[in-house]
Structure 1
Amino acid sequence: MKKTPLLLLTVALGLSACTPPNTTLPADPVNVTVLGLNDFHGYLEPSGFRPAGATADIRAGGVEAIAAELSDARKANPNTIFVGGGDLIGASPISSGLLRDEPAVYALNAMGMRVSALGNHEFDQGLAELLRMQNGGCASNDTAKACKFDPNYRGASFQWIAANVAYNAASGKTGSPFKSYVIEQVGGARIAFVGAVTAETPGIVSPEGVKDLTFSDPAAAVNRVLPEIKAQNPDAIIMLIHEGGEIAAGSTDNYATVGCKSLKTDSPIYKIATAVDPAVSAIITGHSHKGYNCLVPDPTGKDRIVIQGEQYGHLLQRLDLTVDKANHKVMTVKAANLVVDYDARAKAGQLDFGMTQLVTTAKARVEAISSVEIARLGSPQIRRGYTAAGAQDRTIESALGDVVADALLDAGKPQGAQIGLMNPGGIRSDLPDSTKIKPGNAVNFGDVFAVHPFGNTTTVLSLTGQQIDEVLEQQFSGANATAVKLLQVSEGFSYKYSQSAPAGSKINIADITLNGTPISATAKYRVVTNNFLAGGGDNFAAFKSATDVVQLPGLADTDVLSNYLKAKGPSLTNTVKGRIVVLP
């Protein structure tokens, strides 16, 4: 297979991973390759990805191709280690999600993953279930899915880590259920990996699942544990963190840009990177689903690599380190994002056979459900929001967002619903993914499940016009200020917002209309959404003030979308309806 040469970012560090000795010994260098996978989300199969400079999607990712990339890397350098940046499981397509992500864990085990940061989605099913995923067993909170891939689920052979997660006082426990770091032997070198997860985890997962835990500031937590790590004289320290950022608006940089200086300075990862001890040689990140390979100044002002590899296994983050074992320091580190080109691997006959068997088995387990045709659309595909460069964009109205909000409204009308609201993070795939477009514009249940893998239920509630205004302002404020989450809205509901106005004042209530009429600040309106958002998820706390809350039992998000597609499928196209108007 012809491969594009990697562009590598090289930083000469000259930094000890620990307190330097009084005397310098003759150097004993070894080359170590670190390959990182972030935001995998159980995507056993490839999905659509648009490489930099391309005009069409390719099939990228998929464990068959990821394993082949790992094999090539290990042949080129036996001193290669495979690590994770979090969200390896959760929000997964049906071939893994309907089997409680056990196939994804088994795939990662077989590919030799050694350690991963925890991600917020690892907590989707609660702490007890996460510990089962780590340690094995079948005592799950969803026995209909657990141990259906393997009746004796063995758990992860890699270690999930996070220095900033601990038991809280209410739990009656001390310490943490997770390790803060691990030290791995790679080619005779001792590489320390210290982990952290986004501190906003409690606001973006079910509160009940993390009620016994605290999530502290990642930089402070990592800095607290570094003296303990340094005391063990590792030869390098790498940070794995499930937190991210994105390239600043207006920049032409992308995941393939080497040494970018355009990472948004107000993004969470930028602030964390500038605060973490310089002994950390590089930072592997995740969470924002944005690919970048950037330089960010450490607390001393020296550039340090901060890298993220997009999502779903489309990219592998690659670090090539030259480590001086004698003096316990990193001499140089190079960084690149590697495209996992499934199509090229398949054409060259280089897909990993063991992973092919695993994927085939997982798909067979769910085939009877996954293959059921739901509807035929009016276009081959209905897509989420994307930037001009082809990266997913949750800050804009999308054609699929409009459809999902309309489906919610349709489901809630028997309870008097007038407005449907949907969080963009709950829409996980295009309908269908570009790799799964079928004759006659057909979509099956597997396609619907990929869009809505959470199993959220449907909630109808009452909000005043003023509270609706508060909900909409929270798209741009508080924890959402640096990662806008633009709610998708249903037919008949519209509003305008100002890009330049300060947070909290971006929307004039007079510019919020229902069926063409401005809403009243004091009148009550029936709103339908999912139970996650209704509970204040994704930092939309204004929903907690709702009254007349009605849960629609047995009506999961997949049911809502499936029913709507069955009723309206041929009339639905990839058209953005323009319900949200953006002002300067």
Structure 2
Amino acid sequence: MAFTGRDKTWLRGPRAVALVAAGAAVVLGLATGGTVTQAAPAKPKPTHTQIQLLAINDFHGNLAPNPATSSSGNVNGTPAGGAEYLATQLELLRDSADAQGQDTATVAAGDLIGASPLLSAAFHDEPTIEAMNEMGLDATSVGNHEFDEGYKELLRMQKGGCLDDGDGQNNQNSCPDPKAKFKGADFDYLSANVFYENTDKTLFAPYTIKKFHGGQKIAFIGMTLEDTPNIVTKSGVQGLAFKDEVETANALVPKLKQQGIETIVVLVHEGGLPSDPKAFNSCPGISGPITDIAKNLDPEIDVVISGHTHQSYNCSINDPAGKPRLVTSASSFGKVVTEVRLSIDLATNDVDRLNTLANNHIVTRDVPKDRHLTDLITKYQGYVAPIESKVIGHITTPSIVKTVDDSQESPLGNLIADAQLADPSTVTNGKTPVAAFMNPGGIRADLASNAGAVTFGQAFTVQPFNNYLVSMDMTGTQIKALLEQQFSGLNQASNKVLQVAGITYTYNPAAAPGAKVVAGSIKIAGQPLVDGTTYRISTNNFLSDGGDGFPAFTTATNKFFGGLDIDAFANYLAAHDPYTPGPTDRISIGS
């Protein structure tokens, strides 16, 4: 039966009936494609019951539809996503199961919030939590981006309450309607492998058990990316310990079995990379961490629902006993919904895997908009309009791109690094930074304009993390080590070339890791770098904590926290109005 998140009851309500009436003509129009190949064809059995699972991941606060011309707004050319359409498609899928007498649970695999568009981020992602409540989400694992504002803020997302953030200070405003307090998530945040340091207490419940009409019980284990401390701000996870996903999940299996649970689903915020990203309903040549996780999770675990890599796949990967097991992921930004039909043996309550299938459905926009979500989006669009539409400067080109040249330097990367270097908030005791470093992964989009005019909303789309800038002292030797870490250690397999200001250098891609930067090529403020000299540099707090595989930043001294990176970006554009992008000539390739 259709499940509504508002009253937590199983029913076929008036809203569901209305949606069926409005959408009956398009139920069969859901874009699906073929199911994943199983070891044997699925055959309905009278001794089995089916339960529908609907899953999403990596929504990242994308409430409004993204442009269909962008990669974030389509799947293989089909316009997709938008909370209004996602809500309708979820309800239609539930009603299709209800028509067959099947119950439904709706779950997610993390990163529902964080790195969000301004419509959600300006209100600390409260609108997205409200949207998920409206959509009837039952449970989600905690992703790495759920920690973007720190774990205490994440606890508020679950429990509710308002922040005293100065009613719009720093372009954010918790509880913008003074008459309506934020109530928190109706769904369960789950994280079995995140503990308070030196304790056996988890930050959130490790699992939840859902009971269905036929007496069946399903345990959902939530699992957070183990590598989270390396890719989020250190202060946001300080005091927490992140443990191995496989070991943690496997240790819970006996405890669940003792409670009579025979059906176990893992919601894990880690993923894979198919060789053909367009094959959204299969998984040719899949690689990445999820493959090892799937191969090592206890055979008693029946389904693995994953995320993090923003890919869409529908796989059958053998468990340690050599039996096929479903592993799925639903792209990102609400563009895809995974539907799993669990076939459960009524005699044993075990999942019959050979009769359990999954489909990845594109969230097409050829259905009626959910009016509850339309109302929510309209409300917050009104609140965000004054922040979003403010013109902060002009550029002399239609856009400034984050696309890199052969040396991995980009025009937009240079602009952001220049803004960091020029920001006065990082100057302390008369010490002004002489170089700045920006992580390329923190540049989320090209800087667009409206006939040359740049708004705060467009700038925020480029830098949506609200990171703080940090100035610090580093010696020439430490800076050399930092530059080598772009090509070694955690970044050896996939290089991360920092965007820079105030510094130039040459590197040799053919050289051995640890010796790629050409000796004597590094210059700061036009002068050769000296090993024993101390330089004042600037970066964001994510890199300052050693994020993205740059531990050299953690060896810096005399750290001083300045303002927000988005404010530095906006102020720089205002001070250089109009801005003309310069050449990408700070990093070069040589031998």
Q: For residue 485 of structure 1, report the CA deviation from its aligned partner.
A: 3.9
Instruction: Tell me, in whole angstroms, the C-alpha distance in 2 between the residues paired with 1:340 and 1:380.
Output: 31
Partner secondary structure for residue 423 of structure 2 = helix
Instruction: Tell me, in whole angstroms, the C-alpha distance in 1 between the residues paired with 2:421 and 2:228.
Output: 28
Instruction: Tell me, in whole angstroms, the C-alpha distance in 1 between the residues paired with 2:235 and 2:257.
Output: 36
Aligned residue among 265, 275, 296 for 1:238: 265
Aligned residue among 563, 566, 580 for 1:558: 566
Deviates more, 1:153-162 or 1:467-476: 467-476
Aligned residue among 353, 356, 363 for 1:340: 363
Aligned residue among 419, 430, 434 for 2:435: 419
Report matched runs for 1:55-204 at 5 Å.
60-78=80-98, 79-138=103-162, 145-149=173-177, 151-169=180-198, 174-186=200-212, 188=214, 189-204=216-231
Residue equivalent to 1:406? 418
Residue equivalent to 2:47? 28
Residue equivalent to 1:375? 393
Q: For residue 40 of structure 1, report the CA deviation from its aligned partner.
A: 1.5
Q: Are the counterparts in 1 of residues 76 and 278 from structure 2 also a CA contact under 8 Å?
A: no
Residue equivalent to 1:358? 376
Instruction: Tell me, in whole angstroms, the C-alpha distance in 2 between the residues paired with 1:202 and 1:227.
Output: 29
- The C-alpha deviation readout for 1:137-167, integer Å capped at 9, x for no partner, is 2366887633335632211011011111122
Aligned residue among 249, 256, 270 for 1:229: 256
AA in 1 matched with 2:416: V
Residue equivalent to 1:329? 351
Residue equivalent to 2:303? 282
Give the aligned length. Answer: 544
Q: Are the counterparts in 2 of residues 370 and 446 from structure 1 also a CA contact under 8 Å?
A: yes
Q: For residue 112 of structure 1, report the CA deviation from its aligned partner.
A: 0.5
Q: Are the counterparts in 1 of residues 39 and 324 from structure 2 also a CA contact under 8 Å?
A: no
Structure 2 unpaired stretches of 5+: 1-25
Tell me: CA distance 1:451–1:208, structure 2 relative to 1, closer, same or farther (3 Å). Answer: same
AA in 2 matched with 1:45: A
Instruction: Tell me, in whole angstroms, the C-alpha distance in 2 between the residues paired with 1:7 and 1:570.
Output: 51
Instruction: Tell me, in whole angstroms, the C-alpha distance in 1 between the residues paired with 2:383 and 2:210.
Output: 35
AA in 2 matched with 1:178: F
Partner secondary structure for residue 368 of structure 1 = helix
Report matched runs for 1:400-549 at 5 Å.
400-411=412-423, 415-432=431-448, 438=450, 440-480=451-491, 484-490=495-501, 493-498=504-509, 503-510=513-520, 512-514=522-524, 519-549=529-559
Deviates more, 1:36-45 or 1:465-474: 465-474
Residue 44 in structure 1 maps to residue 63 in structure 2: yes
AA in 2 matched with 1:299: P
Q: Are the counterparts in 1 of residues 435 and 537 from structure 2 also a CA contact under 8 Å?
A: yes
Q: For residue 301 of structure 1, report the CA deviation from its aligned partner.
A: 4.0
AA in 2 matched with 1:256: A
Instruction: Tell me, in whole angstroms, the C-alpha distance in 2 between the residues paired with 1:277 and 1:14.
Output: 24
When normalised by structure 2's length, the TM-score is 0.81
Structure 1 unpaired stretches of 5+: 16-25, 388-394
AA in 1 matched with 2:415: V
Q: For residue 57 of structure 1, report the CA deviation from its aligned partner.
A: 7.3
AA in 1 matched with 2:269: H
Residue equivalent to 2:283? 260
Q: For residue 209 of structure 1, report the CA deviation from its aligned partner.
A: 3.3
Instruction: Tell me, in whole angstroms, the C-alpha distance in 2 between the residues paired with 1:325 and 1:481.
Output: 51
Q: Are the counterparts in 2 of residues 295 and 303 from structure 1 also a CA contact under 8 Å?
A: yes
Q: For residue 179 of structure 1, report the CA deviation from its aligned partner.
A: 1.2
Residue equivalent to 1:23? none
Aligned-residue CA RMSD (Å): 3.5
Q: For residue 397 of structure 1, report the CA deviation from its aligned partner.
A: 4.2
Tell me: CA distance 1:195–1:522, structure 2 relative to 1, closer, same or farther (3 Å). Answer: same
Deviates more, 1:129-138 or 1:468-477: 468-477
Partner secondary structure for residue 271 of structure 1 = helix
Q: Are the counterparts in 2 of residues 103 and 358 from structure 1 also a CA contact under 8 Å?
A: yes
Q: Are the counterparts in 2 of residues 140 and 146 from structure 1 also a CA contact under 8 Å?
A: yes
Q: For residue 217 of structure 1, report the CA deviation from its aligned partner.
A: 0.6
Which one has the largest radius of gyration? 2
AA in 1 matched with 2:479: I
Q: Are the counterparts in 2 of residues 124 and 205 from structure 1 also a CA contact under 8 Å?
A: yes
Instruction: Tell me, in whole angstroms, the C-alpha distance in 1 between the residues paired with 2:524 and 2:153.
Output: 42
Q: Are the counterparts in 1 of residues 246 and 293 from structure 2 also a CA contact under 8 Å?
A: yes
Q: For residue 224 of structure 1, report the CA deviation from its aligned partner.
A: 0.3
Instruction: Tell me, in whole angstroms, the C-alpha distance in 1 between the residues paired with 2:408 and 2:347.
Output: 52
Instruction: Tell me, in whole angstroms, the C-alpha distance in 1 between the residues paired with 2:339 and 2:499.
Output: 35
Deviates more, 1:103-112 or 1:62-71: 62-71
Residue equivalent to 2:10? none
Tell me: CA distance 1:314–1:539, structure 2 relative to 1, closer, same or farther (3 Å). Answer: same
AA in 2 matched with 1:283: V
Instruction: Tell me, in whole angstroms, the C-alpha distance in 1 between the residues paired with 2:213 and 2:508.
Output: 55
Instruction: Tell me, in whole angstroms, the C-alpha distance in 1 between the residues paired with 2:202 and 2:166.
Output: 25
Q: Are the counterparts in 1 of residues 58 and 331 from structure 2 also a CA contact under 8 Å?
A: yes
Aligned residue among 200, 207, 231 for 2:234: 207
AA in 1 matched with 2:291: Y
Instruction: Tell me, in whole angstroms, the C-alpha distance in 2 between the residues paired with 1:75 and 1:583.
Output: 62
Q: For residue 187 of structure 1, report the CA deviation from its aligned partner.
A: 6.1
Residue equivalent to 2:14? none
Residue equivalent to 1:392? none
Q: Are the counterparts in 2 of residues 129 and 141 from structure 1 also a CA contact under 8 Å?
A: no
Instruction: Tell me, in whole angstroms, the C-alpha distance in 1 between the residues paired with 2:410 and 2:54.
Output: 33
Instruction: Tell me, in whole angstroms, the C-alpha distance in 2 between the residues paired with 1:556 and 1:163.
Output: 32
Q: Are the counterparts in 1 of residues 402 and 445 from structure 2 also a CA contact under 8 Å?
A: yes
- The C-alpha deviation readout for 1:488-547, integer Å capped at 9, x for no partner, is 22375344252x666544444445455777644444433221123223233422112223
